Structure 1
């Protein structure tokens, strides 16, 4: 019943991002969904061109007797999918009542229901990314491909020992568990996203890029790239998930500002500073690619290309963060201009 009441308004909001694009509107990001929709299909088309190359690359690894992914380790992804689903349901059961009671009263109706679900997800994300980051740091910090910027103690180059698969026994386990998390998120979005998500194409592109990077980095023995990208994202996602949660259920404004500051610092450092450094390092320092250039060049193009598209999304999100920051530190008021694109369903102005 509630969904029927809000459906016309929701459709209107979705259509806001589906109109003809002008340069002025593009600069103002008023038609973001159209941009992300076209970007998604462009990325999908480009990566489809790698279908034959991934087969040839696997044959190359076999001929050269190089270390490669053992497909029996896919069992960890299956186990991960099951465990992630179970732990998410447990998390939902434990925090649902608390979130429902604590959520800011400005959210009403369908908007409130959707917000509760998002906060429950963010609470889970905070815990998951924290555990994943700590685990990765403990087991990978001494690897020659683990960045000094993230606490690595023995960094040489991101593509160290390529085209061999990284020689660390924890790589398959960590990689498949992380893959299960991103595949789970992508599947949920594809099944339920069109019904409740106003930023559907934006999130679809992001999750699709993540899954594509995981898949191709596994096929191309570029797990070192994948792990670095995962850790970079997970660090900032800890603060992002927690900060967005506390902004809506927290009572202390000072802690809201502290949380937002932590988001800004971690985000700018990992995604805007370190991430492009790693892209540059892969492009410039790749002796493994040079040694077998004809066999591995498409792996380089694939990984760098996907990372550049992902970095473009980082810049897009950074613009919204800057806008939120200006609101906080100039007006002394938290107004999330990014998340609140969803919160127009109740037709209320923010206080």
Structure 2
């Protein structure tokens, strides 16, 4: 993206982030073909015999080749700053357009008059921009470096896209806008913590991480289930007759809540490690790449970056 090269990359360099490139693996067409067939080194002994190399030479080539596919710290910083920019802008835009909407202040208005609820231009744009962003994350995930939390994030993106699409088709856009607003609020701090960590602004990172814990738990663990889910599961049936599609909509919301609980546990794990170490040594919702090296293979749960591990 041009914005990465023209804006975010120079900004990252001014903060002292170096665009270091790993040493390239020697040209070896047969090893390259084996790597493209499966990035995980499964049978180094067999490859070594086929290519008349030692097993150690094959493993060294494989490590170098894997490191070529990993983005540099500057690239990861740019990615997080871009997401931070989007979530901040989208949250402020959502807050601006919903400020005068009655359902922001009284959630019962999400159902009163349903399904004859018109869509204003600002809500239309809010929905389309959010849908485009999450569709892009879902698709680009298959081309980006594979992360350890690939499937968790894939399920999250699919659930989010399904909720956006389903709520739009079923004219449940009012409750949908509240869910979008709530999620953008927490994601602002997720990306800010990552970016400050890459820039080595440790004190800023620690302060933002504390804010993240407060905002994340407040929005994802309290407001989302006790306000949004309570409204869709308990209050809504009191105000309008239920239909089959509505239960599917609620099931997707419950799936999001399950992911929130898992990620909250992992964030609190990092917080505990932070207290023990005296600084934030982990990352949020694991952005780390999968590695075959022994020192990385013993680390962490599926989507938590443990101590001393790169994002």
Asked if Structure 1 and Structure 2 have the same fold, meaning a TM-score greater than 0.5 normalized by the shorter chain, the answer is yes
Contact 2:102 2:109 in 1 (8 A): yes
1:321 equivalent in structure 2: 267
User: Is 1:116 equivalent to 2:74 in the alignment?
Assistant: yes
**Counterpart selection for 2:223 from 274, 277, 291:** 274
**1:247-266 C-alpha deviation (Å, 9 max, x unpaired):** 12133x32221010111111
Whole-angstrom CA distance in 2 between matches of 1:266 and 1:325: 14
1:249 equivalent in structure 2: 199
Whole-angstrom CA distance in 2 between matches of 1:318 and 1:176: 28
Contact 1:104 1:249 in 2 (8 A): no
**1:272-311 C-alpha deviation (Å, 9 max, x unpaired):** 11110211111112258734x4xxx123201110010011
1:196 equivalent in structure 2: 146
5+ unaligned residues in a row in structure 2: which ranges? 23-66, 297-306
1:298 equivalent in structure 2: 244
Contact 1:96 1:120 in 2 (8 A): yes
Contact 1:133 1:231 in 2 (8 A): yes
1:12 equivalent in structure 2: none
Structure 1 runs of 4+ aligned residues shifted over 6 Å read 104-108
**Counterpart selection for 1:130 from 88, 95, 100:** 88
Aligned-residue offset at 1:159: 2.9
1:187 equivalent in structure 2: 139
Q: 1:112 to 1:189 in 2, by over 3 A?
A: closer
1:102 equivalent in structure 2: 16
TM-score (ref. length: structure 1): 0.63
Q: Report SS of the residue matched to 1:201.
A: helix
User: Is 1:141 equivalent to 2:99 in the alignment?
Assistant: yes
1:73 equivalent in structure 2: none
- Aligned pairs (5 A) from 1:20-99: 88-99=1-12
Q: 1:342 to 1:242 in 2, by over 3 A?
A: same
RMSD of aligned C-alpha atoms? Answer: 2.9
Question: Between Structure 1 and Structure 2, how many residues are aligned?
Answer: 251
Higher relative contact order (CA 8 A, sep 6+): 1
2:171 equivalent in structure 1: 221
5+ unaligned residues in a row in structure 1: which ranges? 1-87, 147-151
2:211 equivalent in structure 1: 262
